[in-house]
Structure 1
Amino acid sequence: MAPDALSLANVHAFYGDSHILHGVSFSLQAGAVLALLGRNGAGKTTCISTIIGFLKPQDGEIRLFGEQIAGLTPERISHLGIGLVPQGRRIFPSLTVRENLMVARQRENTTGKPWNIERIFDMFPRLRERQAQIAGTLSGGELQMLAIGRALMGNPRVLLLDEPSEGLAPLIVTEVGRTIRRLKQEGQSIVLVEQNLQLALDVADHAVILNTGRTVFAGSAGDILNNEELIAQNLGVFHAH
């Protein structure tokens, strides 16, 4: 059996003396979308930081296609094939759209279709139109497309999306959803951290809910929508039918 794209087993992480992640375990199948859900402070961002190597886990295993990556440097983890679209998008505002994408080229992808600037422009025609524009002048939605495009230029085997719909107008949120679905169709394995429950459950195959750094649910995304109690206790949002 092929290994999972990404798996966490009993991961514990601390910020200073604060124990944030308490034995978090979940796995992402290759080519699937996993939504990582939870209230603010539930440990989602810490989880992403630990996967990407900004924070070293005190205990537990993190594997990328079966290879242990826990404790490696962020550079090494990125090189092995984990791409991050960070919260707040963090592009280079003084570079053009095209330059932002070119700077991000790193891993030559030998498997399948590699991402290159043309393929990014095919996926985001708006970026093609704006390629000579200074990135700092783009709209929120365009910046998010650029941030995703930039992560893809590294040809990631697993893409981490940290709050991609944050601060975007509803119409643009729909577009972000469409983008995630298209990436999934192309076989991209994705972990999606998202406050927008509707968007997350629309695009995800599986979901994990964290509450105070513990996994309180791991299963099919469809099982969450009808579970009012689970939502009320762990997500604090009321679901409209």
Structure 2
Amino acid sequence: MVTEALQVNKLDVCYGQSQVVHGLSLSLGEGRVLALLGRNGAGKSTSLNAFAGLLSPRAGTIRLGGKAVERMSPEGIARAGMRLVPQGRRIFPSLTVLENLQVAQQAAPRATPCAQAWTLERVYATFARLRERSRQRAGTLSGGEQQMLAIGRALMGNPRVLLLDEPSEGLAPMIVAEVAQAIKTLKADRLSIVLVEQNFHLALDVADDVVVLNTGRVVHAGTAEAVRAEPTLATRHLGVF
């Protein structure tokens, strides 16, 4: 039986009086990657921000490992085991790579399904370039290195669920391939991941499950394998050919 790391039920999210997400329901199984896809403005990043507590939902529930977190603060949700790698990375540019990692360090929650706790040494082993740049100010890193740092910083919090918002945005193809491989490595470690990604082919390469949003509503939910087998779905809802 698949255990749910994250369960979202009938979530409504608004910006002021404008409702962006309408009745979103999804389940993320332990150790699986769920790709949340849709055109620009579909409500994908808004959904991740609500999961992480950066936006308060108007209605609905968010359960992390069975625990309700929709009314918790962002700090409380992070401590409970959900970490967001935001769009645009948002690393601390004036701090060194090492300092960016250290500031996010948190012990692994009990009953975490991951094989090992994330430590500084383990992050360096996963992203070798971060070790090489450990004393360098983060603002001087390349875009790809900053993305690796943003992911590494989230891992230092030993999350049960990792939220990745557009990790390949603005990166060269070679670096995109490295990011995809990193996601596969995390998946192999049984880390549960929600991935928002405009790169359709990257998303399908790493995902187990897919939820497609259109104007804030779920228009498709199923396995990545089913999406690969039905090309018209991508054309219809995502504009991918």
2:221 corresponds to which residue? 218
SS at match of 1:5: strand
Aligned to 1:146: 149
Q: Is the 8 A contact 2:35 2:197 kept in 1?
A: yes
Deviation at 1:2, TM superposition (A): 6.3
* Contact 1:79 1:107 (8 Å CA) reproduced: no
Which residue does 1:9 correspond to in 2? 9
Aligned residue in 2 for 1:129: 132
Give the aligned length: 238
TM-score (norm 1): 0.96
SS of structure 2 residue aligned to 1:224: helix
User: What amino acid sits opposite 2:79 in the alignment?
Assistant: H
Instruction: Indicate if the aligned counterparts of 2:5 and 2:66 stay in contact, CA closer than 8 A.
Output: yes
Task: Identify the range of structure 1 (159-168 vs 134-143) with the bigger mean alpha-carbon deviation.
Answer: 134-143
Moved more, 226-235 or 167-176: 226-235
Identity of aligned residues (%): 59
Residue type at the aligned position of 1:124:
F
Cα deviation digits, residues 15-70 of structure 1 (max 9, x gap): 11111111111100000000000000000011001101111111111110111111
Instruction: Map 1:93-108; keep pairs closer than 5 Å.
Output: 93-108=93-108
The answer to whether the 8 Å contact 1:115/1:152 transfers is yes
Residue 234 (1) aligns with residue 237 (2): yes
After TM superposition, give the deviation of residue 108 of structure 1 in Å: 4.1
Structure 2: 5+ residue stretches without partners? none
Post-superposition, which runs of at least 4 consecutive aligned residues in structure 1 deviate over 2 A? 106-112, 225-229
Contact 1:208 1:217 in 2 (8 A): yes
TM-score of the aligned structures, taking structure 2 as reference length:
0.96
| Partner residue in 2 for 1:54 | 54
Matched, 1:76 2:79: no
Q: CA separation in 1, counterparts of 2:122 and 2:226?
A: 35
Using the TM superposition, name which of 53-62 and 156-165 deviates more: 53-62
Kept after mapping to 2: 8 A contact 1:6/1:64: yes
